[in-house]
Each structure stands twice: as structure tokens, then as C-alpha cells.
Amino acid sequence: MSTVESATRSATPEEELQIVPRRSTGTIIGAVVVALLGAWLLWILATNPRFEWGVVRHYFTHKAIARGALLTLELTVISMVLGVLLGVVLAVMRMTRNPLVSGAAGLYIWFFRGTPLLIQLIFWFNLAALFPVITIGIPFGPTFYSGSANAFITPLSAALLGLTLNEAAYMAEIVRGGLLGVDRGQTEAAQALGLGRGRILGRIVLPQAMRVIIPPTGNQAISMLKNTSLVSVLGVGDLLHSAQIVYSRTYQTIPLLIVASLWYLVFTTVLGIGQHYIERHFGRGSTTLVARTRKRRNRSVEGKAR
């Protein structure tokens, strides 16, 4: 490069000034405190014999605990799938122009979000006290089937009913927020092409809204997994209930609670990893766009520097 080119060439900010991060005393002190607290916690876990880690290892893969963990996973998956489907229906109802349909969806969401899940579970379990006989048919019309409520409302069915209906209320607001985040012009363009509302929702609006819906849905799935522990009050043999049965017999409360906590941590970790890959799948379009924009900006800067 000639002397003239060197003089006229504009230097980049990195060449003009080398930025050295400032060492903050507060950051160093904070790191030391965190390291000391972490070492202290590990020392307690390793030296306190009351944790009974041998008992934890023994019961972690015990058949009773494994059956409870499997039932917890089944409750989570079934309730989450049904809750998402019902939540999508409620979100669409909430966004309709019909005030009766929209009001009914809003009332549902208001009730199930405003009452504790534990009360809802106990209510559904005791539904036979309110309706001894359950009939299936057309309102004010013929009845297709009638039977005792005790035959329908078992502890497991009450747990699934309570978890699903409660989750649907939260998913309705999540889905509605995602649908509102899609540009209105997308719907208008599809309507101009003659597409029906169902195809517009299923092929245009909902796929774009998934980018916004997936992160809170993943959090809801993790919350659902932990909320399944509430069904133990109904006598459902989930993970917590199985651990309670064991420690009521062996009086080893702390080790069995640690076993249940470890299983929950394993499940939530797997769900978190799955959520990460699903988010990356639905966000690949925006990620690619950002990467291309950055690449073009870097090329522009390099061209100006030359």
C-alpha cells in the first residue's frame, strides 16, 4: 500500500483505540462471594449424613418411584396437548366479532385463571356431590347416555380434567397474544386472494405466530409438569404421591423428597432442551435474516475501509 493510500485510508474505531475492559472491584467481590457460597453448599451436601445419599441412590430407580414418574409424565403430556388444543379454540373465540362467543371465552378464561388449581382439582373430584348422575345429550332435548358420576369422575379423570381446563385458560391468552402479533396486512392479503378464514388461520397466521407462542408455551409445559404434584391430594399415584407412600412406611422423608426433586429436575431439563430446539426451528427465518443483514453490514464497512 502506498503512502498516499495509507494517509487517505480511514482507520476503523478498533484501530484508533484499543478498548480494554475495566476491572470492577464489585464484580470481583461478587464472584468471590458466589464461589464461597457454592463451596459451602457443596461441603454441606457432602458432609451432612442426614441427606442419606445412599438411600437416594437406592430409591431413585425404584419401581414404585419409576411408575410414579411415568404417570407424572403422562399427565403432563396429555393435559398439555389437550390444553393447547382447547386454548387455540378459546383464543379464536375470544377474537371473534360475535360478542356472545367472545364473552363466553372471556368468562371461561376469567374463571379458570382466577381460581387456584388445587381448588379446581378438589372440585372436579367431588363433582358427584353436585351432579350424582351425568347425562350426555342435547340440552333440553333427547339424552343419549346417562350414568353415575362416580363411574366417570375417578381420581385420574378428575386430575386430567382439572389440569386440562386450567391450562387451556392460560394457553388461550398466549395464543391470542401470538395471533395479535402477526401483521394485519398478512390477513388482508390472503383475503384479497380469496382464501377462507380457516386456511388463513391455519396456513398463514398461526405459523407466523408460533415464533411468539412457543417460548411461553414451553414455560407452561414446565409449570404443568410441576403442577401435576398437586394431584397427589386426590390419591393419584404420581411421582410425589409415590414418594409419600414410601417415606410414610420408611420414615425417610428427606431422601425421598430429594428423589422426587431429582426426577422433576431431569424432566424439566429435557423439556428445556426440547424447547430450545423447537424455538430455533420456528425462528430460523428471522435468524437467517439477521445473519444476512449483519453480513451485508460487515461487507459495507470493509468496502468503505478499503
DSSP the chain: --HHHHHHSPPPHHHH--------HHHHHHHHHHHHHHHHHHHHHHH-GGG-HHHHHHHHT-HHHHHHHHHHHHHHHHHHHHHHHHHHHHHHHHTSS-HHHHHHHHHHHHHHHHS-HHHHHHHHHTHHHH-SEEEEE-TTS-EEEEEEHHHH--HHHHHHHHHHHHHHHHHHHHHHHHHHTS-HHHHHHHHHTT--HHHHIIIIIHHHHHHHHHHHHHHHHHHHHHHGGGGGGGT---HHHHHHHHHHHH--HHHHHHHHHHHHHHHHHHHHHHHHHHHHHHTHHHHHHHHHHHHHHHHHHHHHH-
Determine, yes or no, domain membership for 40.
no
Rounded CA gap, 184 and 177, in Å?
A: 13
Determine, yes or no, domain membership for 287.
no
Determine, yes or no, domain membership for 43.
no
Q: Please tell me the predicted confidence (pLDDT) of residue 147.
A: 78
Q: Is the pLDDT of residue 80 over 80?
A: yes
- Taking only the tens place, the pLDDT of each residue in 88-127 is 999 989 988 899 999 999 999 999 999 999 999 999 999 8
Q: pLDDT confidence of 130, banded at 50, 70, 90?
A: confident
- Taking only the tens place, the pLDDT of each residue in 234-256 is 999 899 999 999 999 999 999 99
Determine, yes or no, domain membership for 228.
yes
* % pLDDT > 90, the chain: 49
pTM of the model: 0.78
Q: For the chain, what is the mean pLDDT?
A: 84
Determine, yes or no, domain membership for 1.
no
Determine, yes or no, domain membership for 42.
no
Q: Is the pLDDT of residue 292 over 60?
A: no
Determine, yes or no, domain membership for 20.
no
Residue 106: domain span: 51-281
- Taking only the tens place, the pLDDT of each residue in 49-67 is 888 999 999 999 999 999 9
Instruction: Work out how many domains the chain is built from and give that number.
Output: 1
CATH number, domain of 258, equals: 1.10.3720.10
